[in-house]
Amino acid sequence: MSLHPNTQAVRMQTPRTAEMEHSTPLFLTSSFCFENADEMRAAFAEENDNNIYSRFSNPTVQEFIDKMCVLEGAEAGFATASGMSAIFGTFMAFLSAGDHLLSCSAVFGSTHTIVTKYLHRWKIEYSYADIKTPETWEALIKPNTKMIYVETPTNPGLDIVDMEWLGTLAKKHNVMLVVDNCFATPVLQKPINYGADLVLHSATKWLDGQGRVLGGIVVGKKELIRDLYLFCRNTGPSLSPFNAWVLTKSLETLDVRIQRHCDNAEALVKALDGHSKLNWIKYPMHPSHSMYNIAKKQMARGGGLVTFDLKGGVESGKKFMDALKMLSLTSNLGDSRSIASHPASTTHSKLSREEQESVSITPGLIRISVGLEYAGDIVADILQALEKC
């Protein structure tokens, strides 16, 4: 019987133990035992799939990986302690001295820091490509370009990369394509279908969905995941079994939650459209989005993030944030609770004014991570705060 990926995300779990538990068990252990010396020898020789040490593998972590592979349509995966360890591990596993990384310029602030502040220590070059001018990307590919890295939608500007076009470009030049699919999740888009070699997530966000644990994951081609596994096995950014247990349970409700996030985001966009206090509102599935047609092509829905630009810039942004009564002020996103943030003064504050503008961050930009509350309450809180800014 062939099951839909959403069904597999609910039903897949580690083999039932002698206790006959219904909910998936938690293997909270640092190491694993062997029946005899030869079985132990074979495990270290990789002649069997036995678990050795939870830094290498763990049944609970593997369950989370297996579910994500099904959802993303990937061959294999490796889970890490955070989204940033997934990103850094991917860079370090596949980039060497003398290599060149081509990245979209609109990336998460910590990713920007790794690319601009640390990669040079290993003599790895980088170039930033403007997501709004795809016609300029091919000229940026060099003979030593090893990887193309993108977010789509981007953080926090919600710009969209045409993955079908980019997959073709990467294949033409024999360059690895890595896509950060954190904002859309596999419920809304599957980058592997468009040519991505590896797909990664900060599992801390929508995959958990309730702001409880940190986690990251990379999925994709089996041979590439093998190289990533060997790097992470030895350097140690492993996901804890407890966090994996929380995340694998979270995946059982991922589709239901994402649909509700989208419902509420659409309701918010409708309520704010044309508001006198805003210069503009941005949402992938709003016709005013400059990449609306691309979003329609590769995304099932627009996701749970909405951004808008306040008239009055930074000062209006501060007044708006301070006037909110229900929404949380925190740097996280993808939570069951709605969250507001002001990227120019927080997550992307290390970027210069010019760099912020190049990635669609304006002084008055507000990012709303739309939660699972009653839509009318979310809208009401934002509207009353707008009146005070």
Tell which residue, 76, 9, 27, 347, has the closest CA to residue 217. 76
Q: How confident is the model at residue 53 (pLDDT cuts 50, 70, 90)?
A: very high
Strand partners, 306: 368
Q: For the residues 149-170, what does the mean pLDDT come to?
A: 95
Q: For the residues 79-93, what does the mean pLDDT come to?
A: 98
Coil vs helix vs strand at 241: helix
Kindly tell me if the per-residue pLDDT of 42 is higher than 80: yes
Q: Which residue has the tokens 């966090």?
A: 243
Tokens of 248: 């694998």
User: Cα–Cα distance between 113 and 268 in angstroms, integer?
Assistant: 32
Q: For the residues 157-176, what does the mean pLDDT come to?
A: 97
47 CB neighbour count, 10 Å cutoff: 11
Note the Cα 158 to chain centre separation in Å.
13
- pLDDT score recorded for residue 348: 67
Q: For the residues 115-143, what does the mean pLDDT come to?
A: 96
Residue pLDDT, tens place only, 225-252: 999 999 999 999 999 999 999 999 999 9
What amino acid occupies position 46? Answer: E
Of all residues in the chain, what percent carry a pLDDT higher than 70?
Answer: 99
Domains of the chain are: 5-253 (3.40.640.10), 254-386 (3.90.1150.10)
Kindly tell me if the per-residue pLDDT of 28 is higher than 80: yes
**For the ranges 170-179, 274-283, 290-299, 352-361, which has the lowest average pLDDT?**
352-361
- pLDDT score recorded for residue 266: 98
**For the ranges 55-64, 119-128, 304-313, 348-357, which has the lowest average pLDDT?**
348-357
- pLDDT score recorded for residue 389: 85
Coil vs helix vs strand at 386: helix
Helical packing angle, 83-94 and 222-235, nearest 10°: 110
Q: For the residues 159-163, what does the mean pLDDT come to?
A: 96
Of all residues in the chain, what percent carry a pLDDT higher than 90?
Answer: 89
Tell which residue, 246, 218, 232, 233, has the closest CA to residue 76. 218
DSSP state of 116: I
Q: How confident is the model at residue 323 (pLDDT cuts 50, 70, 90)?
A: very high
User: Cα–Cα distance between 41 and 308 in angstroms, integer?
Assistant: 59
Cis ω before 153 (30° cut-off from 0): yes
User: Cα–Cα distance between 48 and 331 in angstroms, integer?
Assistant: 43
CA atoms 54, 236, 176, 112: torsion sign: positive
Kindly tell me if the per-residue pLDDT of 350 is higher than 80: no
